[in-house]
Amino acid sequence: MRADSPDRPTALVDTSVALPALSELHEFHDVAFAAVSEHRAGIAAHALFETYAVLTRHPNLRVLPAQALALLDSTFKHRATPTAAAIDRALEALAAAAISGGATYDGLVAATAVEARLPLLSLDRRARRTYEAIGADVRYL
């Protein structure tokens, strides 16, 4: 996809935006859905899997796997995956910043956005330190 393609996303989302964008019951649905639409947002591969997992297991959502896939396919046309080199750089940055545990996965999402040269849309201010350590351009909604 060319950089100036009208189909190219102008941002990627993390799970904190993807999930409310897909769930009308979520308190941040309107803001998340508007941001996804405005940016033709793509989704980082890790966030894609995480969103699918939550959609299919959350007791209040009860989305069947096929429905979850259809929602994700219709909403996020672009999926971004990091290269091995980007993953290595991210792990080095996480170790240097003494970031561990579950925040490591936020680092993978951030590394994907950095490599795609796209801002990352997020509602997850708890991930700020991790996103900064990776050098992601994050736009908090």
Question: Is 88 annotated as belonging to a binding site?
Answer: no
Q: Distance between CA 94 and CA 76 in Å, rounded?
A: 28
List, in order, residues 6 or more apart from 66 with CB less than 8 Å away.
none
Question: Is 7 annotated as belonging to a binding site?
Answer: no
E strand residue ranges, the chain: 12-13, 42-44, 79-80, 120-122, 138-140
Show binding-site residues for Mg(2+): 14, 106
Binding positions = 14, 106
